[in-house]
């Protein structure tokens, strides 16, 4: 059921409406500490949705919300769960997003 919930939720993480997008990222930031490693089945789906476009956003609210959500992942999930999706994102992103993901990997 977790997969079904986050499959529906992921599209809000990169919604074309910036207020919806930001609210979804902020909600994600609040959910991560509650769910912790229970997110492991959906982490490969969530990280791209959280990172793509959001870390390169010119909207400071979206960028901050995405950064906070990524930081929450780093604080509350086991690093082995994050290694592969972070490596993939760092490899294929550009600009500030690539720099941010590379720093998280380091």
- Burial letters for 77-93: b for 16+ Cβ neighbours within 10 Å, e otherwise? beeebbeebbeebbeeb
Cα–Cα dist 58/35, whole Å? 29
Name the residue range of residue 44's domain: 1-104
pLDDT in tens, 59-83: 999 999 999 999 999 999 999 999 9
pTM of the model: 0.94
pLDDT over 90 (residue 96): yes
CB 72 within 8 A of CB 32: yes
Question: What pLDDT is recorded for position 1?
Answer: 86
Per-residue tokens: 84: 């592969």
Quote the number of domains for the chain. Answer: 1
């Amino acid at each position: 059921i977790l997969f079904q919930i986050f499959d529906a939720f992921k599209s809000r993480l990169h919604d074309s409406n910036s207020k919806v997008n930001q609210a979804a990222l902020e909600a994600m930031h609040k959910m991560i500490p509650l769910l912790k490693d229970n997110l492991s089945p959906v982490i490969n789906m969530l990280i791209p949705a959280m990172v793509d476009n959001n870390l390169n956003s010119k909207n400071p609210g979206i960028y901050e919300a995405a950064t906070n959500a990524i930081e929450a992942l780093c604080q509350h999930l086991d690093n082995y769960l994050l290694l592969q999706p972070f490596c993939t994102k760092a490899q294929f992103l550009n600009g500030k997003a690539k720099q941010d993901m590379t720093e998280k990997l380091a």
